[in-house]
Structure 1
């Protein structure tokens, strides 16, 4: 469970509500497994963060944590999560290369699509360095080359077109479009309001970060 508040006092109030609910239902939160992350506002930082307690136990303050498989950081950057995905892709692609070296080309392409094109939560990436992003793209392209036994410096766009499978940028665009479509079709009134205004800062920022950076 995640609690969000624009202030420390707000977080403490939310935790108090959770504690009351837990007490009334015979439950107890584990403070040792709970953490506090304070998001930074640009370059502004605070020398000391007031204590936030859960069951009279101060919560541990962290700079990052993994939520549903996605790394969230205090600086709101996605470099760590992109690196997580790059490492996971390297493991999966090496497994395919090692175990299925004797399979024919069509089988290898099918396996590549199944194991190397998921890019979990990639549609949420908006704040990252180009170096980190390019490292993932290169890992993806090289995995396909090595699996099919193609020359190391052959054209990435050409090899994906010949194999009739999506390249890196095509996958990113499809994931972003899918998320936007789900937001637009959500029955949640807040999401519906955001998705319904094409002149909103949300759409401007989304288009700037995803549609124009390819």
Structure 2
């Protein structure tokens, strides 16, 4: 892959095409793993759209395996992850909030846990509410 292609900016016209080209095989790899959540009666372990990817797992070990799979795929195809933009959110019922925050890594970089983050125009919150979208 050329240096110019690797540095392609998010506003580039070709980005959706290139994103789909590189992530189709990754989605097949991720979907073949025995790590799933049920979302609207469909099993999922990742979502991707418009240059953004989300990995979903009911277990910490599963999430780490999904992230490791993404990292290995990225290394194989010379794709760079933005470690500073990669974040985790711990979705728990209020009664389980006493559980300690796990440690998740992208390579050697420990990922930051946040209470909320924007995704496709919505605010995902760790308290399972959607009040930030309406404020």
Asked if TM exceeds 0.5, the reply is yes
Alignment partner of 1:28: what SS? coil
| Larger Rg over CA atoms | 1
Alignment partner of 1:43: what SS? helix
Question: 1:31·1:55 contact (CA, 8 Å) conserved in 2?
Answer: no
* Paired position in structure 1 for 2:85: 33
Structure 2 unaligned regions, length at least 5: 1-52
**CA distance, structure 2, for counterparts of residue 47 and residue 61 of structure 1:** 14
The normalised TM-score by structure 1 is 0.37
State how 1:1-214 maps to structure 2 within 5 Å: 1-83=53-135
Q: CA deviation at 1:77?
A: 0.4
Q: How many positions carry a matched residue from both structures? A: 83
Question: 1:22·1:29 contact (CA, 8 Å) conserved in 2?
Answer: yes
* Paired position in structure 2 for 1:178: none
Instruction: Say which structure, 1 or 2, has more relative contact order (CA 8 Å, 6+ apart).
Output: 2
Cα RMSD after superposing both structures: 1.1
**CA distance, structure 2, for counterparts of residue 50 and residue 38 of structure 1:** 9
Q: Which has the higher helix share?
A: 1
Segments ≥4 residues shifted beyond 6 Å: none
Alignment partner of 1:65: what SS? strand
The normalised TM-score by structure 2 is 0.58
Alpha-carbon deviations, 1:10-65, whole Å to 9, x = none?
10000010011101101121111110100012421134212100021000110100
Alignment partner of 1:38: what SS? coil
**CA distance, structure 2, for counterparts of residue 20 and residue 8 of structure 1:** 18
